């Protein structure tokens, strides 16, 4: 029995039993007891006196002692269960029915229902990435700028558009000069582009030993007739050789120079590396941006 000592008068011990506050008096107390201390006994010793309980409750003191003990034990069990076990929940019950399996992950198919789907080793390498840049690296997609470049339509500027009409670069000079001996230049907007290449259909090659070629140049600001005022449009020279093979020739894609990534850039195509004697010929000439 578990109770609380209410008072001690000589050999008379008065305790409060159980949650209902029933009182029982024990005589011939054999232990030294203090007020408001816990009393524990097996209920074998007799209790006398008035017992405050409902009329329907048996008044036998032994009955009350055991009843109080059971109530105390039930309280201990209840508290333990509440602190240890999860109450029944529909969501947890649904998850408990999903059979675990390698490379599978559970998901909900509705209210209170669950299933599982594949989560491969590769997928796990993607979902553990901290940000978009890391995810692109995992997928082998490169930088955001590279993706934007690939998705953007190519911007083409035709310098000489008639592929069937060859241009004779008569006695092409060693020094840089305007293509076709005329001032071939135009304004372009390159603010949102990052790479450039030159496409030339070479119809007649040059015998010059000075690396004859066409190249792409630019300048910011106003147009000028002076060809020496133009610079390479790429981080390296964007050019096509005129002393190699005939047919359609293309330069590599080359990063656009930082200063050329702007609006209203003057674009020019020039010749350089002739010997003043050989006369190469070209058909279609175009500059492409992406």
Report residue 252's pLDDT band, with 50, 70 and 90 as the boundaries. Answer: very high
What residue ranges in 97-223 does DSSP mark as E strands? 104-110, 113-118, 155-160, 167-168, 177-178, 185-188, 195-204, 213-220
Question: For all residues of the chain together, what is the average pLDDT?
Answer: 79
Section 140-144 average pLDDT = 75
Tokens 């981080």 belong to which residue?
A: 235
Which CATH number describes the domain made up of 155-289? 2.60.120
Among the listed ranges 144-148, 195-199, 228-232, 242-246, which one has the minimum average pLDDT value? 144-148
Structure tokens at 15: 């305790």
Instruction: Tell me the backbone φ, ψ of residue 163, rounded to 5 degrees.
Output: -70, -20
As a whole number of angstroms, the distance between CA 161 and CA 57 comes to 111
Q: Which residues of 123-155 are buried (b: 16+ CB within 10 A; e: fewer)?
A: eeeeeeeeeeeeebeeeeeeeeeeeebeeeeee
Tokens of 274: 């002739």
CA dist 239 and 285 (Å) reads: 11
Mean pLDDT of 31-56: 41
Domain ranges of the chain: 2-84, 91-119, 155-289
Cβ neighbours around 13 below 10 Å, total: 24
pLDDT, tens digit, 9 for 90 and up, residues 2-39: 444 444 444 444 444 444 444 444 444 444 444 444 44
Measure the CA–CA gap between 172 and 270, rounded to whole angstroms: 11
- Does the pLDDT value for residue 73 go beyond 80? no
pLDDT-based confidence at 72, cuts 50/70/90?
Answer: confident
Distance CA 168, CA 182 (A): 12
Neighbours of 185 (CB within 10 A): 22
DSSP string across 136-191: HHHTT---HHHHHHHHSPPEEEEEE--TTS-EE-TT--SS-EEGGGS--EEEE--T
pTM of structure = 0.52
Q: pLDDT grade, residue 226 (50/70/90)?
A: very high
DSSP 206: -
């Amino acid at each position: 029995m578990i109770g609380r000592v209410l008072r001690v008068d000589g050999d008379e011990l008065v305790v409060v039993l159980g949650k209902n506050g029933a009182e029982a008096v024990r005589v011939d107390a054999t232990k030294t007891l203090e007020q408001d201390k816990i009393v524990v006994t097996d209920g074998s010793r007799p209790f006398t006196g008035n017992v405050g309980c409902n009329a329907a409750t048996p008044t036998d003191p032994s009955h009350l002692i055991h009843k109080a003990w059971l109530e105390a034990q039930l309280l201990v069990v209840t508290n333990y269960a509440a602190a240890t076990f999860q109450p029944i929940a529909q969501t947890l019950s649904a998850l408990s029915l999903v059979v675990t399996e390698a490379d599978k992950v559970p998901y909900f198919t509705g209210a209170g229902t669950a299933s599982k789907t594949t989560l491969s080793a590769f997928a796990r390498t993607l979902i553990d990435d901290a940000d978009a840049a890391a995810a692109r690296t995992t997928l082998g997609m490169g930088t955001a700028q590279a993706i934007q470049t690939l998705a953007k339509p190519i911007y083409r500027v035709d310098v000489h558009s008639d592929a069937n009409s060859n241009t004779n670069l008569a006695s092409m000079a060693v020094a840089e000069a305007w293509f076709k001996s005329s001032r071939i230049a135009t304004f372009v907007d390159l603010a949102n582009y990052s790479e450039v290449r030159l496409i030339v259909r070479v119809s007649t090659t040059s015998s010059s030993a000075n690396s004859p070629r066409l190249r792409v140049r630019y300048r910011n600001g106003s147009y000028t007739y002076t060809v020496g005022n133009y610079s390479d449009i790429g981080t390296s020279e964007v050019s096509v050789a005129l002393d190699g093979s005939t047919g359609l020739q293309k330069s590599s894609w080359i990063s656009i120079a930082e200063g050329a990534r702007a609006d209203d850039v003057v674009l020019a195509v020039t010749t350089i590396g002739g010997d003043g004697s050989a006369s190469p010929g070209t058909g279609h000439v175009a500059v492409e941006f992406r």
